[in-house]
A and B are shown apart, each in its own frame.
Chain A
């Protein structure tokens, strides 16, 4: 019969909606209340030193809204005002300096869109498929448009001495999470950022100032950054020795594994985004990214990696930023084993999980950029599986 939503006058078509000031800073409409960051409680002992996950299964395009972009804190998200903010540059420089927030606002600005991926994204999947949904298996990632000051301007202001080969960035929070970064990278594309997606950084993302380190693991993007020390060697802090090092099968460990290699995942369909419309036209979509440059192409397989077809890159593929891909198919309702595979501009092709395990074993925790398999069943439900 006729659709009453069309034939009958609905309330919203007759009476008023909200006035202009109902929500001076808006939140998503209540129908979207499920699109939130979520954590996995058993992962960590305390929620102030923990991580949650971006709902990438529910997002489209490439920019991650700050309000649902995953958080990782080592001692909680602190409240630090612009008035109380100071940035110190010291060590092997001609003039150790202190900048206020206002000082930073007077340097020439730059903008960059970049993904931030935790080195442990996918870490729970090293031993095998474990969590249901790309929010949990690939959701330690976000992608924002930053505005700030290139770090090299600040370093030039202080005058880096010839022996200064490394910087060490540390935060103002109680963990004072610190990481060493080679000077070459610091002078290349590292930024001291204060805007993200057009507005001030949110508290949980380092308000008022964070480091942006395009293409490199998220732990290095120090939030609430308060000091840049210049040294002749790496500091070898806790975060770059006991953590964020990659234990190999021979019992030795790789260190300084900063770059996030090319990776992709189908975000829909996925376990939290089942197919409910039955057979016929089906939009397959996902994200691809590489810390080594632009995404050159993304292939999608419907049969667990035996045959592949090239997906459409939707929008611009930016270097070291999330790239959206789509593949529109006519689904006949049969079971599919969905995979995506990214190739970046260096020619690197995203490997299978088994190919990574063959080199790195099972104790590697970090840098799992292996191909994800989703089992789409005839009823439209989707499971996280591995195939061989």
Chain B
């Protein structure tokens, strides 16, 4: 009754895609890594979001600490305080991290990062070496903190009585109002974003409402013309390519109208800007020093920086491996040149 569809998966194909690591150690590759190496790799690949000590920058996940907070109103759920299995740490680091650069962590680096995270959670000493040999000996503190869904026993009986239809209780009063918290995205008129327009008000005899889209397009065109004049000839195809390559940067660097500093500084008007000069962003000392020393981001300096950030500027906080293709770097520079300050 088999259909005979598909073909046998080759061992090397399975090895390439099946990198899952399970709680009992199934799937662990051979390798090892120590805490100090992990500290270095973490600083290089992870700290720009998770912090030097895995404490989590901005709203990026906190990976260390939080022991004993699971009863609190604001529990801190970390590897040490919440995660049940060390296999999950290795699996996720190896499979999905760093953010925007998945599957670039080697087996040994994954062991080292995992060892460092155990250390930063106070679970091992600084001379600890993690390997596939001793991996399953590590039991995380909250390993026993989980139990399978019990709603069918603990909740369904309570919520399965025939529903009351009349005079089900005393009169009620309003106890909480969302408007008092005031965190809903708003339309320009101050109403909750997406509020249905009062279409009758605009219909009766009034001039037809101009579509917002053509106006926006015009504005974009105007801006493009301005920028094009200012920047001389920028190849629009390169700009478009650059916009695509920029996806690698976008998790940390914001651009466009109203862009704010995030994990990295915003990049509006980055071309022509002195290095490390943006107010309100906490640069590395290396970067502010370079700016004070006269480094300005022009095409040449950006091309070099983007090829090998840490090679070009030792000590930069930017934990990005760099763009190896010259075309990609040139496209990014072209794209950045279109972004007005």
Which A positions have Cβ atoms within 8 angstroms of B? 4-5, 30-31, 33-36, 38-42, 44-49, 55, 57-58, 74-76, 88-91, 95-100, 103, 106-107, 128-133, 135-136, 153, 156-158, 168, 170, 174-176, 178, 226-227, 229, 231, 233, 235-238, 241-242, 245, 247, 249-259, 261, 271-274, 276, 299, 303-309, 337, 341, 343, 346-351, 355, 359, 362-363, 375, 383-388
Contacts and interface: CB of A to CB of B under 8 A. Distances in A.
A362 to B, nearest CB: 7
Contacts of A343: 163
Given A247-B70, A385-B177, 18 more contacts: A30-B211, A34-B195, A106-B3, A106-B5, A107-B3, A107-B5, A170-B20, A178-B20, A238-B91, A242-B77, A247-B75, A249-B71, A254-B151, A272-B196, A346-B160, A351-B159, A383-B178, A388-B173
A252 B9 contact: no
Interface in B155-181: 155-156, 158-179, 181
A375 B179 CA distance: 12
Contacts of A131: 178, 183-184
Given A33-B211, A34-B196, A57-B194, A157 B17 contact: no
B59 A153 contact: no
Nearest to B96: A175
Contact of A236 (B23, B169, B213): B23
Given A45-B58, A107-B3, A175-B96, A254 B148 contact: yes
B102 A174 contact: yes
A241 B178 CA distance: 31
Nearest to A277: B200
Given A242-B77, A308-B164, A386 B213 contact: no
A192 B128 CA distance: 44
A133 B168 contact: no
A387 B174 CA distance: 4
B229 interface: no
B329 interface: no
A95 B8 contact: yes
B325 interface: no
B87 A236 contact: yes
Contacts, number: 300
Contacts of B5: 99, 103, 106-107, 157
B163 A385 contact: no
A227 B23 CA distance: 19
Interface in B78-93: 79, 82-85, 87-88, 91-92
A135 B194 contact: yes
B97 to A, nearest CB: 9
The bracket for how many chain B residues form the interface is 35 or more
Contact of B174 (A42, A174, A386): A386
Nearest to B160: A347
Contact of B84 (A46, A132, A241, A272): A241
A128 B180 CA distance: 11
B294 interface: no
Contact of A75 (B73, B99, B147, B155): B99
B69 to A, nearest CB: 9
Contacts of B280: none
Contacts of A348: 156, 159-160
Taking each of A31, A40, A132, A276, which has the highest tally of chain B beta carbons within 10 Å of its own beta carbon?
A132
B17 A251 contact: no
B75 A383 contact: no
B159 A133 contact: no
Contacts of B22: 231, 233, 235-236
Contact of B91 (A48, A129, A237, A253): A237
B293 interface: no
B84 A306 contact: no
Interface string B1-38: 11101111100011001101011101000000000000
Contact of A90 (B14, B169, B185, B194): B14
Pick the most buried of B1, B18, B154, B178: most chain A CB atoms within 10 A of its CB.
Answer: B178
Contacts of B95: 176, 178
A349 B162 CA distance: 8
Contacts of B194: 34-36, 38, 55, 57-58, 133, 135, 272
Contact of A251 (B70, B158, B198): B70
Nearest to A242: B83
